[in-house]
Amino acid sequence: MKQSPELSFDDDGQPVLITRAAPAYEEQHRERVRRYLKLMFWRVPALIGAAVAYGIWQNGLISLVILVASIPLPWMAVLIANDRPPRRAEEPRRYESTRRIPLFPTAERPALEYRAYSSRQADETEPPRDVAG
């Protein structure tokens, strides 16, 4: 293939990246799994460290502090692993509200028209009703 100035190759002959596409989903997933495993890796050493600390100093308070510090690790690992890459400035916003919805919406209730007919006037103006049985 002939290399010319019209083609986008750098000095080493490698094609120049012309898109700013996001990394593939598989790459993002792999990175999130790595972050999760790195955080969860510290859970087991913390439990072992609490047992070792109790064996060395015979002080339950030190072991308890180590255990309490390890409690939020799974929660943090899941939150960090499920986080998506930061949104780019040029990425479009999907939600566009056409109108503001109030905090406590109320249905519009049109007033019923009140007809001040006496029973006699109602009988004269209405046709007789058939009673289906």
pLDDT for res 41: 93
Cα separation values, 63 from 43, 46, 68, 92, Å? 14, 9, 9, 50
- Domain range annotation of the chain: 22-85
HSE of 6 in the Cβ direction (CA atoms, 13 Å)?
2
Residue 32 in contact with residue 79, Cβ under 8 Å?
A: no
pLDDT category at 82 given cuts 50, 70, 90 is confident
Residue 37 in contact with residue 28, Cβ under 8 Å?
A: no
What is the pTM (predicted TM-score) of this model?
0.49
Q: Tell me whether residue 63 is exposed, middle or buried, using C-beta atoms within 10 angstroms of its C-beta: 0 to 12, 13 to 18, 19 or more.
A: buried
Q: Return the structure tokens found at 68.
A: 């309490």
- pLDDT tens per residue, range 83-118: 877 777 777 777 666 777 777 767 766 666 555 555
Q: Which residue has the higher pLDDT, 51 or 121?
A: 51
pLDDT category at 11 given cuts 50, 70, 90 is confident
pLDDT category at 130 given cuts 50, 70, 90 is low
Going by C-alpha positions, the residue among 116, 118, 132, 35 that lies closest to residue 77 is 35
